[in-house]
Amino acid sequence: MLCVATRLFSQALKRSTSPWFHLVARAIQSRRMSRIVECVPNFSEGRNSKVIDAIAKAISETAGVSLLDVDPGASTNRTVYTFVGSPEDVVQGALNGAKIAKELIDMRKHKGEHPRLGALDVCPFIPVRGVTMEDCAACARSFGERAAKELGIAVYLYGFASEQDYRKTVPQIRAGEYEGLNKRIVMPEWKPDYGPAEFDAKWGATVAGARKFLIAYNINILGTKEQAHRIALNLRETGRGNNQPGRLKCVQGIGWWLEEANLAQLSLNLVDYEVTPMHVAFEECVKDAKELKLPVCGSQVVGLIPLDAILKAADHYIEKENLFILEEDQKIRLVIQRLGLSSVTPFDPKTRIIEYMISSADKSPLVSMTVREFIKAIGARTSAPGGGSAAAAIAAIGAALGTMVGFMSYGNKKYDNLDPLMRSLIPSLRQAMLDLTEMVDKDTNAFNDFMQARKMPKKTPEEEEKREAAMQEGLKSAVQVPMAVIQTANKAWPPLVELSKVSNPTTLSDLQVGARSLETGVWGAYYNVKINLPDIKDEQYKAEVLKQAEDAVSLAQQQCQEVLKILDQRSPK
């Protein structure tokens, strides 16, 4: 279990620290990271702000690292740090934090609600973008090797970094906790993967590994610690042991008392939220609490959470309650309310959802521009952005106008008979709008990749061969993006045709502009396909792509004319 989030304390700490704390994601601001690993070290100190501050400062000042969150818990006496960077940089960041902890944390004095083994208790590495799980396992091994050598500490590997089944999980390795480590560490089967097999009373031992994104999730119960723990035993995968498994797969859990909030918590680790989502854990807890006649009053996410986990919960409640919600921010609001995520401390999506933390400083350069800036960028004396990005943008505008017309016809008392139809038409138009928007930058990026391939050295036959292969791949990528624009735009025609038959009459001109824009976007993408095909050497590939593009243009022409004909018949004479 990760530490309990004491958000009010965290906010006060942030106000008191030096400016480094407020420069969230500064490394991402300085350059777009193509390979991002997340590191979430848990240090056994959650009360002394000077120690918490010093560790955070050491991490944040590591070159190439962005510190996203610091989450201290007084009851658990534990702080969770979340930071991202390249594989090499996050290993260095974890080491820098460990060096400070080596000086300032003394496990002989440590007491808290949370199980722990050492000053730096657990140090997981998680893939975020452009890296594999094996890359993260390599990070854990590199950290363990260097920490043992530079700090003289004992390090155990877990998760995807471990090759031994009996010591794959943190609970397996942490059994007996710090108090039992002195006897355990000298056993041959519990020899550390790195560092001395000797008990260091001041430090203890560290567990480092690679894992999927783990959600530390606490559910609030107005009952006792013992009652919360009883529910945890019912739910967690290991259950009560002795062949008495719990109900939820990939879930670890205990019950504890949160002194600062005066309530008990069921503290869960959702080790794989795709197997057991957050809303499933919450509702199963509610079920057990009801049997004990205990009220559940919201829940709490510790540290950061993937957007996908929130949207999965939103989809569950939307389906369960037959709701019609499409906007991402509204889905997040729904989940915050249904799960009571702000019951202990405020849940701010901008600072709690990892994708938002990263994207706040890593926005796509074109779609984040104002309209004026985007038009000026196209009109500048550079070849990119050009027709491909413009085509994607125009097609996105077409799909957006269709979406707008759908919404203008939905929820309107005058057209309430159309609501069921609008619920079926709007989502696909809106998704096309979102997908096409993403392609505005993809087209320019594909062109830039091709230009980079052209700049590769060609002094030797080997270099020439690599350069040619990269250029061919770049050309195919430059073709695939506008083909994706064509295919995505054409998915919007069926709902657009149906919408044109029944939509709010005041929006007919909007739909006419939308249809023409969608068709123009398809044509623009088609021309971008054609201009890149001649230099591709794979003749079969060229023929297949050209045929697909020509058929798609014909379809767009036909569908556009059908929409315009229907709208013309409906227009006032």
What pLDDT digit, counting tens, does each position of 134-151 carry? 999 999 999 999 999 999
Q: Contact, 57 vs 18, CB < 8 A?
A: yes
Do strands 36-39 and 78-85 pair parallel, antiparallel, or not at all (unpaired)?
A: antiparallel
Average confidence (pLDDT) over 87-99:
97
**Per-residue DSSP letters for 116-152?**
-SBSEEEEEEEEEES--HHHHHHHHHHHHHHHHHHH-
pLDDT at 7: 36
Is 496 domain-assigned?
yes
Which of 161, 192, 210 lies at the terminal end of a domain, its last residue?
210
pLDDT at 2: 38
- Is a pLDDT exceeding 90 seen at residue 90? yes
- Report the C-alpha gap between 305 and 355 in whole angstroms: 9
- Which band of pLDDT confidence, cut at 50, 70 and 90, is reported for residue 509? very high
Residue type, 492: A
Of 43, 110, 112, the residue nearest 81 (C-alpha):
43
CATH of the domain at 443: 1.20.120.680
Mean pLDDT of the chain: 88
pLDDT at 450: 65
- Report the C-alpha gap between 263 and 258 in whole angstroms: 6
Residue type, 454: R
Helix (H, G, I), strand (E, B) or coil at 198: coil
- Is a pLDDT exceeding 70 seen at residue 225? yes
| Backbone dihedral angles phi then psi of residue 236, each to the nearest 5 degrees | -60, 150
- Report the C-alpha gap between 393 and 367 in whole angstroms: 9
Number of domains making up the chain = 3
**Do 321 and 408 belong to one domain?**
no
- Which band of pLDDT confidence, cut at 50, 70 and 90, is reported for residue 276? very high
- Report the C-alpha gap between 304 and 214 in whole angstroms: 9
Q: Name the CA radius of gyration of the chain, rounded.
A: 28
- Report the C-alpha gap between 1 and 228 in whole angstroms: 14
Is 12 domain-assigned?
no
**Do 344 and 231 belong to one domain?**
yes
- Half-sphere exposure (CA, 13 Å, Cβ side) for 338? 23
CB atoms within 10 A of CB 561: 12
Tell me 348's DSSP state: -
- Is a pLDDT exceeding 60 seen at residue 169? yes
CB atoms within 10 A of CB 30: 12
- Report the C-alpha gap between 393 and 400 in whole angstroms: 10
**Do 235 and 196 belong to one domain?**
no
Q: pLDDT (tens digit, 9 = 90+) per residue, 403-423?
A: 999 999 898 888 889 999 999
pLDDT at 22: 34
Average confidence (pLDDT) over 73-95:
94
CATH of the domain at 62: 3.30.990.10
**Do 265 and 395 belong to one domain?**
no
pLDDT at 21: 32
**Do 346 and 379 belong to one domain?**
no
Could you list the active site residues? Answer: 114, 443
Of 488, 455, 468, the residue nearest 535 (C-alpha):
468
- Report the C-alpha gap between 216 and 303 in whole angstroms: 7
**Do 189 and 226 belong to one domain?**
no
- Which band of pLDDT confidence, cut at 50, 70 and 90, is reported for residue 302? confident
pLDDT at 380: 85
The least confident of 90-94, 106-110, 439-443, 563-567 is 439-443
pLDDT at 165: 92
Is the C-alpha dihedral spanning 382, 385, 388, 390 positive or negative?
negative
Q: Cα separations (Å) of 322 from 318, 325, 331?
A: 6, 10, 13
**Do 457 and 530 belong to one domain?**
yes
pLDDT at 511: 96
pLDDT at 360: 55
Helix (H, G, I), strand (E, B) or coil at 67: strand
Give the rounded percent of residues in the chain with a pLDDT score beyond 70. Answer: 91
**Do 230 and 332 belong to one domain?**
yes
- Is a pLDDT exceeding 80 seen at residue 290? yes
Is 495 domain-assigned?
yes
| Backbone dihedral angles phi then psi of residue 277, each to the nearest 5 degrees | -70, 165
Residues 510/512/518/521 CA torsion (nearest 10 deg): -100
Of 49, 138, 62, the residue nearest 94 (C-alpha):
62
As given in the structure block, the two tokens for residue 454 are 């052209």
Name every residue whose Cβ is closer than 8 Å to that of residue 66 and which is 6 or more positions away in sequence.
24, 25, 26, 27, 28, 60, 83, 84, 85, 358, 361
Full strand arrangement of the beta sheet holding 296-302: 251-258, 263-270, 215-221, 296-302
Of 242, 183, 247, 252, the residue nearest 214 (C-alpha):
252
pLDDT at 23: 32
Q: Cα separations (Å) of 4 from 45, 54, 376, 377, 490?
A: 12, 20, 49, 47, 49
pLDDT at 40: 95
Q: Contact, 241 vs 193, CB < 8 A?
A: no
**Per-residue DSSP letters for 218-244?**
EEEESS-HHHHHHHHHHHSTTTTSTT-
Which of 210, 234, 250 lies at the terminal end of a domain, its last residue?
210
- Is a pLDDT exceeding 70 seen at residue 5? no
For residue 470, give its domain range: 371-570
pLDDT at 449: 64
pLDDT at 446: 65
As given in the structure block, the two tokens for residue 143 are 């950290």
- Is a pLDDT exceeding 50 seen at residue 19? no
Give the rounded percent of residues in the chain with a pLDDT score beyond 90. Answer: 68
- Is a pLDDT exceeding 80 seen at residue 261? yes
**Do 184 and 41 belong to one domain?**
yes
**Do 254 and 197 belong to one domain?**
no
Of 159, 251, 174, 252, the residue nearest 210 (C-alpha):
159
- Report the C-alpha gap between 316 and 318 in whole angstroms: 6
Tell me 214's DSSP state: P
Q: pLDDT (tens digit, 9 = 90+) per residue, 359-403?
A: 654 555 777 788 898 888 889 887 778 888 899 999 999 999 999
Which of 210, 238, 254 lies at the terminal end of a domain, its last residue?
210
Cis peptide before 495 (omega within 30 of 0): no
**Do 162 and 234 belong to one domain?**
no
- Residue 258, strand partner residues: 263
